[in-house]
């Protein structure tokens, strides 16, 4: 009777060890969007890095993520004029000019095209 108890305890401890080891693993892998994608154009890449990326590569921001074509589709459907208007003037959680005060309209369209994965003109 007494001889089996320490072995059971050992087994229990080993199982507990396994369980806590599992808990150390990240529970949710990052979404399969291109959150570290960068525009190929160097000037755009710089602008993106210091503005849009702060939110559009951050799932917690509520912004449509770069490369997430599903999230962008209904927004793209509004047309370039509306997208540009919402970018310049802000839209809900989207701040006016997306925090890029030096961006030109052309650059905004380039950045939106990059994030949405479709060419917007």
Of 6-14, 23-31, 37-45, 104-112, the window that binds ligand HEC (rule: CB under 6 A) is 104-112
Number of residues that bind ligand HEC (CB under 6 A): 27
Among 99, 104, 105, 118, binds ligand HEC (CB under 6 A): 99
Rounded least distance, CB 26 to ligand HEC, Å = 24
Rounded Cα–Cα distance for residues 47 and 29 (Å): 28
Q: What CA–CA distance (Å, rounded) separates 98 from 76?
A: 17
Span 37-96, contacts to ligand HEC by CB under 6 A: 51-52, 54-56, 61-64, 75, 78, 82-83, 86-87, 91-95
What are the tokens at 44?
Answer: 């755009």
Q: Of 67 and 94, which CB lies nearer to ligand HEC in the complex structure?
A: 94
Minimum CB distance to ligand HEC smaller for 95 or for 117: 95
Of the two residues 91 and 117, which places its CB atom closer to ligand HEC in the complex? 91
What's the number of CA atoms in the CB half-sphere (13 Å) around residue 90? Answer: 6
- Give the residue closest to ligand HEC by C-beta: 98
Distance between CA atoms of 108 and 44, rounded to whole angstroms? 9
- Report the 10 Å Cβ neighbour count for 34: 15
Q: CA 110 to CA 78: how far, in whole Å?
A: 17
Neighbours of 65 (CB within 10 A): 22
The structure tokens listed for 67 are 């490369």
Where does this chain bind ligand HEC (CB under 6 A)?
51-52, 54-56, 61-64, 75, 78, 82-83, 86-87, 91-95, 98-100, 103, 108, 111-112
């Amino acid at each position: 009777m007494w001889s089996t108890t320490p072995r059971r305890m050992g087994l229990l401890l080993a199982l507990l060890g396994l369980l806590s080891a599992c808990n150390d693993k990240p529970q949710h892998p990052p979404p399969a969007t291109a959150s570290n994608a960068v525009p190929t154009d160097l000037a755009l890449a710089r602008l993106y890095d210091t503005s849009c990326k702060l939110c559009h590569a951050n799932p917690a921001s509520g912004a449509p993520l770069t490369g997430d074509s599903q999230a962008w589709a209904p927004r793209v459907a509004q047309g370039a004029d509306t997208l540009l208007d919402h970018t310049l003037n802000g839209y809900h959680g989207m701040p006016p000019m997306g925090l890029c005060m030096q961006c030109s309209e052309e650059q905004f369209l380039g950045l939106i095209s990059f994030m949405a994965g479709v060419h917007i003109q």
